[in-house]
Structure 1
Amino acid sequence: MGWPEVQGLAAPLALSPCPIEGVEGVALCGTLSVPEDWSAPEGRHIPLRVIVLRATGPAPVGDPVYLLTGGPGQAATERIAAFAHEQARTRVRRDLVLVDQRGTGGSNPLRCDTPQEDDPDDVLRQRAHACLERHAASADVRFYTTPYAAADLEAVRLALGHERINLDGGSYGTRLALVYLRRYPERVRSMVLRGVSPTDFRNPLPFSQAGQAALDALLAACREDARCASAFPNVGAEFQQVLDTLQKSPATVELKPEKGPAKTVRVSRERFAQLVHLILFITPLARQLPFLIHRAAQGHFEEFAGLAVAFEDAIAAQIYWGLQLAVVCPEDLARITPEDVARETPGTFLGDSLIHSYQLICAEWPQARMPADYWQPVQSSVPSLLFSGTRDPSTPPRFGQEVASHLSRSRHIVMPGATHINPSGCVDKVVSDFIAAGTAEGLDTTCLQEPFRWEFFIPKQKP
């Protein structure tokens, strides 16, 4: 298969005012109709939801910032309040453009029931089939890969009349940014990548080792912190104890929320391990991990069960699972070999369970054909700013370094103690300064070099 070519656009994109709660300034909304298969513009068309947040200052410039979300499977417009806050400095002079990637939000969404961490194999297969059946009449999932999403961004750029744009992507959004840059290099003025997921990433293969390294670093920080070490002196051994206990016999917890009926939650070893991995993404929760592990070692799984339900609900609400599979199955899972799994997963708490689940599901999923050079490194001289965290449980700094080595005008910032994507006032200022200057040369990043200080949660009374 070749790369999708943008063709068949009939008219500019009409935008209308659409005030958004919690977002100041002018917001304009519109829908662009594009071919589902760019090689067949006379065939089925799908909508792309677009929101433009107009610059708030008196002298805006003409190159907006296109904001690209992660997952894959997040809808950009559903994060609009967070984006408006993080990009407030940049927005003084530049419009912000949010496009729901095809398969998410208001762009022919592929909403499906997401799997649970310990679903049996047959249930995982059933979920994949149910997802395909739900959207069989409205979508051909072979046309929902990253190359098609990049073509859609180009269509939006053309329809809005932007000569050049700036890209800001997080997690999977960094891959989309790189693919767009490969295809339309002359249209990109600058690029920001946060938590770098390159085209050859092979999601979720790196999670096992990266998650183990992040957990080891967190437990080491606990040992070096006098209060944490005093409260939880054996937390590493307790973690292994919990894994061993759950391997023999999963825990059952009865949750009794203040509102609604009671819920019985089964905590298996796989569910526990995958939840720990998710917790490591989020600094406020990661601070609580020694306490949560200690409680579980004492036989109290209520906190973990509550978090498991909360995470599952949040993922179900935020991730359009059909789109995630449409991307991950042909772009990532198809390139994971048994030798890769045998090399990357032993000795890690996550093991191969997550990969195994995806392999089962992707075996049932229609396989899109990818361009032959899709997985090659993206080479460019476009000014680029990359961020990585030393405690990232999914995209550790080596991926950012590898991508940066092919971007001749890039700067890769590794933040000590940071996790996956770390919005902060400091990061926001550095990004704003970079986009304003259009270069990483001379950029003041002093505030990013201070190691992150972990303030672990310690109960008032020793547990």
Structure 2
Amino acid sequence: MKPSLILTFSLCALLAFPAGAKPVSQQGRSCHLPGSEEALRCVTVPLPLDYAKPAGPTLKLHVTVAPAFREAARPDPLFILAGGPGQAGTDVLVLLNHSFRRVRATRDIVVIDQRGTGLSDKLDCPAIANEETMPAAEQEQAARNCIAAVKRPFSAYGTASAARDIEQVRLALGYDTINLWGASYGTRLAQHYARAYPAKVRALILDGVVAPDQVIPAGGRDAAAALELVFSDCAANPACQLAYPALRQEYAAVAARVASGAVELELPDPRTARAVKVQMNSERFLGTVHGILYSAADTRRLPFLIHSAYAGRWQPFVARRNAAGDFSSEGPVAQLLHLAVVCAEDVPRLTPALRKDDDSPLTAALTTRITSLCALLNVVPAAPQASTAIKAPVLMLSGENDPVTPPRRARAAGELMARAQHLTVAHVGHGISQLGCSPRLLREFLDKPEQQVDAACLKEIPAPTFQLGSAGPQP
């Protein structure tokens, strides 16, 4: 993932750092963060909380820099923009040792905790004990209480402000031009920055591409298509078809049973082993199914989970749901930052016609809940950015089974890009950069962004095997 160019240290310093700026290796402080075994550089960049009020309150933006391994580093770093909205850059530092290790051979990696996330004044609600067993009405009230208690100008946390933050980080670290890697919502932020500061962008890598016209809560059509692929893939696999010959019907029966309110469970608490009562409502059931669809490996477990629930054995499904909570390997999304962005930029575009066209039980409850909470935030609808063409070279990556940013979203975004390559991977969900030969392709693209990437190796990424029983997936 790292391009190699032999430059003298003095030339690199002249290109990368304006007069008076310290090299990145000398900026900030040495720091050890979760997800990285080595010491990195942590830089704090003070910024206005509201750019319209530069003399008003400020925030401290956290930036993590992984300096290039080679001393003769190239002058244009790779900036990492996480997803969500609400995920912090420090939540994805684990990618430094895999997805970005090749890139880092000759380029600095700059990881930003977007304002309102991670170590950049996280905008979130406190964790609630036993949230997974709490009745839906109590969950809703807890969210409302949290919003009412947080006294922040939510309108200051949108994508436009985050893009201006990136520019301030570039200036603070002394770089001339930069490359951007964005995942999911990070692709929206990367595109916004590229349109706002076109002269400062050398190349972009967009993994799980959000189209400019995409409304984040309106994902029912894409989610339903991804679920249908699970059903059809199982039907086409002899072992899966033999194990679950009526998978669609079982899923429909379980969903209907849950919707009727007839599923009251008493299961051991995963922390204490004490018996607790859980009401499996539609939002919990469908939300868990939707979350499973993000991961290719998880989707191959879904038939087993559905079949088990159909037979009345809910333990595997509930265990998977808990795994997405406080047992998650990634840091939790900043909920209020997520709402601040979506309520200003997406919900105002969620028209009745779009709701009708995108109707799906998989996302309906979430969409309703978000729009209800948005009324409490009272954010001003964000002015749309002009959809000018992005002239910098772009590499777009899509998983064919992605339930939120499938290939059709990248194709729509590509219509506004002058030099875009689009790579798709079969049997894969949300996120490509960490799979197979992708780390090598990221570096090859950044080395020579004007050249076509040879992506034949992506076809070698195997489809995960289906889980046919409690022992786990087939070998």
TM-score surpassing 0.5?
yes
Q: Which moved more, 1:245-254 or 1:285-294?
A: 245-254
CA distance in 2, matches of 1:382, 1:211: 31
Contact 1:75-1:100 at 8 Å conserved across structures: yes
1:273 counterpart residue number: 286
What amino acid sits opposite 1:366 in the alignment? N
Name the residue aligned to 1:432.
Answer: 443
Structure 1 CA distance, aligned partners of 2:67 and 2:364?
46
Q: Secondary structure at the match of 1:449?
A: helix
Match of 1:190 among 191, 203, 208: 203
Conservation of the 8 A alpha-carbon contact between 2:148 and 2:376:
no
Output the CA distance in 2 between the equivalents of 1:152 and 1:107: 11
- Which residue type is aligned with residue 50 of structure 1? V
What does residue 358 of structure 1 align with?
Answer: 370
- Equivalence for 1:126: 141
**1:373-452 alignment runs, 5 A limit:** 373-374=384-385, 376-422=386-432, 423-439=434-450, 441-450=451-460, 452=462
* Deviation per residue, 1:198-220 (Å, 9 max, x gap): 34311110x21111111111111
Name the SS for the 1:221 alignment partner: helix
Greater Cα shift, 362-371 or 447-456: 447-456
- Report whether the alignment pairs 1:237 with 2:252: no
Contact 1:178 1:198 in 2 (8 A): no
Counterpart among 319, 329, 334 of residue 320 in structure 1: 334
- Give secondary structure in 1 for the equivalent of 2:294: coil
Q: Distance in 2 between matches of 1:15 and 1:249?
A: 55
Structure 2 stretches lacking a partner, 5+ long: 1-19
Conservation of the 8 A alpha-carbon contact between 1:190 and 1:384? yes
Report Cα offsets for 1:6-64 as digits up to 9, x if no partner: xxxx9979412224466365511121110011122111010001110011124311110
| CA distance, structure 2, for counterparts of residue 293 and residue 162 of structure 1 | 51
* Deviation at residue 339 of structure 1 after TM alignment: 2.1
Structure 1 residue ranges without an equivalent (≥5): 1-9
Shift of 1:120: 7.6
Secondary structure in 2 aligned to 1:239? helix
1:152-177 deviations in whole A, cap 9, x for unaligned?
Answer: 01000000000000000000000000
Q: Could you tell me which amino acid in structure 2 is paired with residue 453 of structure 1?
A: A
- Any residues of structure 2 matched to 1:172-251 within 5 Å, and which? 172-205=185-218, 207-251=219-263
More displaced stretch, 287-296 vs 297-306 = 297-306
Q: Is contact 1:164-1:188 (8 Å) kept?
A: yes
Number of equivalenced pairs: 445
Structure 1 residues 151-160 or 76-85, which shifts more? 76-85
1:455 equivalent in structure 2 = 465
Change (3 A) 1:392 1:301: same
- The equivalent of 2:266 in structure 1 is 254
Amino acid at match of 1:17: S
**Structure 1 CA distance for aligned equivalents of residues 35 and 288 of structure 2:** 31
Structure 1 residues 258 and 301, CA, compared in 2 at 3 Å: closer, same or farther? Answer: closer
The change in CA–CA distance for 1:124 and 1:209 in structure 2 (over 3 A counts) is same
Calculate percent identity across the aligned residue pairs: 33
Distance 1:123 1:358, change over 3 A: farther
Change over 3 Å in CA distance of 1:424–1:317 after alignment to 2: closer
2:207 partner letter:
R
Distance 1:359 1:259, change over 3 A: closer
1:2-13 equivalences in 2 (<5 Å) = none
User: Which of 92, 101, 105 is the aligned partner of 2:118?
Assistant: 105
Match of 1:368 in 2: 380
> SS of the counterpart of 1:179?
helix
Instruction: Give the aligned partner of residue 15 of structure 2.
Output: none
2:72–2:106 contact (8 Å) kept in structure 1: yes
How far residue 193 of structure 1 moved from its aligned partner, in angstroms, is 0.3
C-alpha distance in 1 between matches for 2:363 and 2:50: 38
| Cα deviation digits, residues 316-343 of structure 1 (max 9, x gap) | 9511111001100010111101221122
1:17 aligns with 2:30: yes
Shift of 1:450: 4.7
Instruction: Please say if residues 87 and 331 of structure 2, whose CA atoms lie closer than 8 Å, have aligned partners that are also in contact.
Output: no
Q: How big is the shift at 1:178?
A: 0.4
Paired with 2:356 and 2:403, the residues of 1 have a C-alpha distance of 19
User: How much does 1:67 deviate?
Assistant: 0.3
- Shift of the 114–240 alpha-carbon distance from structure 1 to 2, 3 Å rule, reads farther
Normalised TM-score (structure 1): 0.90
- Counterpart of 1:153 (choices 146, 161, 166) is 166
Judge conservation of contact 2:34–2:93 (CA < 8 Å) in 1.
Answer: no
> In structure 1, the residue corresponding to 2:232 is in which secondary structure?
helix
Cα distance in 1, alignment partners of residues 132 and 422 from structure 2: 34
Q: Is the 8 A contact 1:174 1:197 kept in 2?
A: yes
2:152 aligned with 1:142: no
Superposition TM-score, scaled by structure 2 size: 0.87
CA distance in 2: counterparts of 1:76 and 1:461, whole angstroms: 35
1:256 counterpart letter in structure 2: P
Secondary structure (helix, strand or coil) at the match of 2:54 reads coil
Q: Does 1:39 align with 2:52?
A: yes
1:209-257 CA-partner distances (Å, limit 9, x unpaired): 1111111111111111111111111111110111111122342333325
Query: 1:337, 1:122 → 2: CA distance?
Result: 26
Q: Is the 8 A contact 2:35 2:92 kept in 1?
A: no
Q: Deviations over 1:416-463 (max 9, x none)?
A: 221111321311111111012133x2311101235752410112799x
Deviation at 1:83, TM superposition (A): 3.3
